Chains A and B, each alone.
Chain A
């Protein structure tokens, strides 16, 4: 039962570098999400995709781009990493979009920007 799989689990970037966080789910869910979690801030929604082919901004989209490659995969790209983007990133999925549907999280990706 893989569920939601994220890669990489840990990454250190230099300021200005770019990288892509990959996410895939095997639950045939329609909706996928990217959250970031910082100490004392809880989880904040970066972007989400209600269904294949659609994406929408969340609470904190600046500095990020996303791609819903197909129904299974939803990637998050940092074009020019900044120290403020040091965080834990969680990908998640749900059967349908909100409201009402439970979302299931991946194990997280720890990103440090120096």
Chain B
């Protein structure tokens, strides 16, 4: 079992719709969770971080965290074609006596005009 799991997609949504991206993780002790966006051929860039259970909103993006279910999600409202990218979930995992930031394999999002 991978430490951080995401559906690889592609997730295809029409322009203006809500895109929902999901991520599960294995370490119950994890405290920090991040969503990165990566365009093809580019480096990952941070979209959201979340540390507490519940929702955190930033513009069109909402991160949701449920530690009991070991589940974190990212909602993108009013999706735009420019949102088409791979979205990477990252979680701090206790590994070999220290925390390490471990990434999922990413979900590719396609927003259709």
> Across the two chains, which residue of chain A brings its CB closest to B95?
A59
Cβ–Cβ contact B43 & A105, under 8 A: yes
Give per-residue flags for A90-114: 1 if the beta carbon is below 8 A from chain B beta carbons, else 0. Answer: 1000000111111111111000000
Q: Please pick, from A40, A45, A57, A106, the residue contacting B101 in the complex, using a CB distance under 8 A.
A: A45
Of the four ranges (under 10, 10 to 19, 20 to 34, 35 or more), the interface on chain A belongs to 20 to 34
> Across the two chains, which residue of chain B brings its CB closest to A33?
B101
Residues of A within 8 A of B43 (CB): 90, 105-108
Residues of A within 8 A of B98 (CB): 50, 56, 97-98
Q: How far is the CB of B8 from chain A (nearest CB, A)?
A: 7
Q: Is A41 engaged at the interface, CB distance under 8 Å to the other chain?
A: yes
Residues of B within 8 A of A42 (CB): 4, 6, 88, 103-106
Q: Is A44 engaged at the interface, CB distance under 8 Å to the other chain?
A: yes
* Residue from B6, B44, B88 with most neighbouring chain A CB atoms (10 Å): B44
Task: Kindly list the 10 A-B residue pairs having the minimum CB-CB distance in the complex, ordered from nearest.
Answer: A42-B105, A99-B92, A98-B99, A43-B103, A105-B43, A99-B32, A100-B32, A99-B99, A42-B103, A98-B92
What is the interface of chain A, defined by CB distance below 8 A to chain B? 33, 35, 40-45, 48, 50, 56-59, 90, 97-108
